[in-house]
């Protein structure tokens, strides 16, 4: 066994160290002009230590353990690997990243960083920029060798194109993935993030933003089995009339795992629609956080915005926080949100047992069923089976 000697820093020192190496690792040469502007504006001030002082940042990170900052991370870029799913192989077609000097809609709509993480991640030493012109599937699979691997990726989906993007991370260490996409008029993007964090030395931080033009649709499917640390931030702007976003998250948080979802959907135009459907099954000593925001601009009339988050705890030592936030400035809006946290319903368990199903199996079935509410919405049957099997295998009865 290889043992990693970790130098212990304080949280503040760790944040300062991480800030410094993220800044230093940035290769100005390869940054597209547009991003360079964003970075140069924001990144000078970006300082992760602000999480501990800035009131609004503190609020966002209140429930998220940041102990990993104590480690003296080194930057080591991702290794590109083939996707871990054989069913993706059939489709594999080389989609070539576009040259950095080419402007794309995704680069133009790249949002100004809102947090120091975003500002720093933007300058990651590895960049990928794609334009998906027709109905295409892009699978991105990266392996982290155990250190800090930051990556920035932009994806432009052309008008009318119907595309899929798969993001698969493996290995250990701290993976910081900054993804921004732009979906053109009447285009559609399905983003799949099947994510298994195998142990406590795995840290995944997804920073995803997206901009949707008129009648564009985005569907996201974030399926997580977490024994490690994960934060999934998704911020979408429904910028064109009739744009729609459907966000799905199913997380099975195992012992000592941490899953943190921070979602923000901004309705900026009329007749837009969004739905956030999230479920977390949290086992003993696991921890789940859900912050779901809906923002409706005063011009975004006739908007439908829905949000549902449920957390099911399998033991008293599991923890779940939910924080729905609505900021609605238009009056003709249909908006519902529901958040529940609790334990298994005794009625359901009794019903199964009264039919002869042993208690352990009955619980397993009900835990799995809880996440099935999201998994059955996944359009890929192969991914559905992957998720169901993973969950079944990991449920601790």
* Contact predicate 246/343, CB 8 Å: no
| Residue 5 lies near another protein (rule: CB under 8 A) | no
DSSP string, 52-73: GT-HHHHHHTTTS--GGGGB--
| Residue 221 lies near another protein (rule: CB under 8 A) | no
Least distance from C-beta 361 to another protein, angstroms? 6
| Residue 344 lies near another protein (rule: CB under 8 A) | no
Contacts to another protein from residues 352-381, by CB under 8 A? 352-359, 361-362, 365-366, 368-373, 376
Q: Which residues contact 360 (CB under 8 A, 6 or more apart)?
A: 397
| Kind and range of the H or E run holding 310 | strand 303-313
Least distance from C-beta 209 to another protein, angstroms? 31
Burial 29-43 (b: 16+ CB within 10 A, else e): eebbebbbebbeebb
The 8-class DSSP code of residue 264 comes to E
CA nearest neighbour of 292 among 238, 236, 346, 375: 236
Least distance from C-beta 368 to another protein, angstroms? 7
Q: Among residues 2, 28, 90, 347, which is the contact residue for another protein, using CB under 8 A?
A: 347
Calpha distance 150→271 (Å, rounded): 37
Count of residues for the chain?
Answer: 397
| Residue 87 lies near another protein (rule: CB under 8 A) | no
Least distance from C-beta 284 to another protein, angstroms? 22
Query: Residue 1 or residue 354: which is nearer to another protein going by CB?
Result: 354
Least distance from C-beta 261 to another protein, angstroms? 20
The piece of 17-25, 213-221, 250-258, 342-350 that touches another protein (CB under 8 A) is 342-350
Least distance from C-beta 345 to another protein, angstroms? 8
DSSP string, 197-251: E-STTEEEEEEEEEEE-TT-EEEEEEEEEESSEEEEEEEEEE-STT-EEEEEEEE
| Residue 343 lies near another protein (rule: CB under 8 A) | no
Tokens representing 363 are: 């619980």
- Placement of tokens 């795995």 in the chain: 202
Helix axes 359-375, 346-354, angle to 10 degrees: 120
Binding-site size for another protein (CB under 8 A) equals 25
Calpha distance 325→351 (Å, rounded): 36
The piece of 203-211, 245-253, 296-304, 344-352 that touches another protein (CB under 8 A) is 344-352
Least distance from C-beta 290 to another protein, angstroms? 19
The piece of 186-194, 197-205, 257-265, 348-356 that touches another protein (CB under 8 A) is 348-356
Query: Residue 185 or residue 353: which is nearer to another protein going by CB?
Result: 353
Query: Residue 97 or residue 338: which is nearer to another protein going by CB?
Result: 338
| Residue 351 lies near another protein (rule: CB under 8 A) | yes
Query: x/- contact string, 296-335, with another protein (CB under 8 A)?
Result: ----------------------------------------
Query: Residue 81 or residue 365: which is nearer to another protein going by CB?
Result: 365
Quickly list H helices, the chain: 11-24, 33-42, 55-60, 86-89, 105-108, 116-121, 346-354, 359-375, 381-394
Tokens representing 385 are: 């089976």
The piece of 54-62, 181-189, 237-245, 347-355 that touches another protein (CB under 8 A) is 347-355
Least distance from C-beta 225 to another protein, angstroms? 17
Question: Would you tell me which residues interact with another protein (CB under 8 A)?
Answer: 345-348, 350-359, 361-362, 365-366, 368-373, 376
């Amino acid at each position: 066994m290889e043992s990693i000697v970790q130098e212990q820093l304080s949280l503040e020192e760790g944040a300062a160290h991480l800030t410094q190496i993220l800044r230093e690792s940035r290769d100005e040469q390869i940054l597209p002009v547009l991003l360079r502007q964003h970075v140069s504006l924001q990144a000078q001030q970006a300082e992760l230590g602000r999480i501990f002082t800035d009131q609004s940042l503190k609020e966002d990170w209140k429930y998220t353990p940041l102990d990993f900052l104590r480690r003296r991370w080194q930057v080591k870029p991702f290794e590109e690997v083939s996707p871990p799913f054989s069913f993706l192989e059939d489709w594999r077609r080389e989609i070539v990243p576009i040259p950095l000097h080419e402007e794309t809609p995704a680069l133009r709509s790249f949002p100004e960083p809102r947090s120091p993480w975003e500002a720093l991640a933007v300058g990651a030493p590895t960049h990928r920029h794609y334009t998906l012109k027709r109905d295409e599937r892009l699978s991105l699979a990266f392996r982290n060798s155990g250190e800090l691997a930051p990556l920035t990726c932009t994806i432009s989906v052309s008008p009318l194109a119907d595309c899929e993007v798969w993001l698969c991370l493996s290995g250990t260490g701290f993976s910081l993935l900054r993804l921004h996409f732009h979906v053109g008029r009447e285009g559609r993007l399905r983003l799949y993030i099947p994510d298994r964090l195998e142990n406590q030395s795995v840290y995944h931080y997804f920073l995803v933003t997206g901009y949707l033009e008129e009648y564009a649709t985005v569907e996201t499917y974030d399926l997580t089995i977490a024994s490690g640390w994960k934060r999934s931030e998704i911020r979408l702007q429904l910028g064109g009339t009739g744009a729609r976003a459907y966000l799905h998250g199913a997380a099975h948080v195992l012992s000592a795992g941490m899953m943190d979802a921070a979602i923000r959907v901004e309705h900026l135009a009329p007749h837009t629609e969004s739905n956030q459907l999230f479920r977390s099954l949290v086992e003993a000593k696991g921890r789940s956080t859900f912050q779901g925001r809906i923002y409706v601009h005063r011009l975004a009339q006739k908007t439908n915005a829905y949000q549902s988050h449920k957390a099911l705890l399998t033991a008293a030592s599991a923890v779940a926080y939910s924080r729905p936030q609505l900021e609605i400035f238009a009056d003709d809006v249909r908006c519902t949100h529901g958040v529940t946290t609790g334990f298994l319903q005794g009625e359901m368990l009794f019903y199964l047992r009264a039919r002869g199903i042993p208690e352990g199996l009955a619980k397993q079935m009900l835990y799995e069923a809880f996440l099935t509410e999201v998994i059955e919405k996944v359009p890929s049957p192969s991914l559905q089976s992957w998720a169901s099997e993973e969950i079944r295998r990991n449920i601790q009865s």
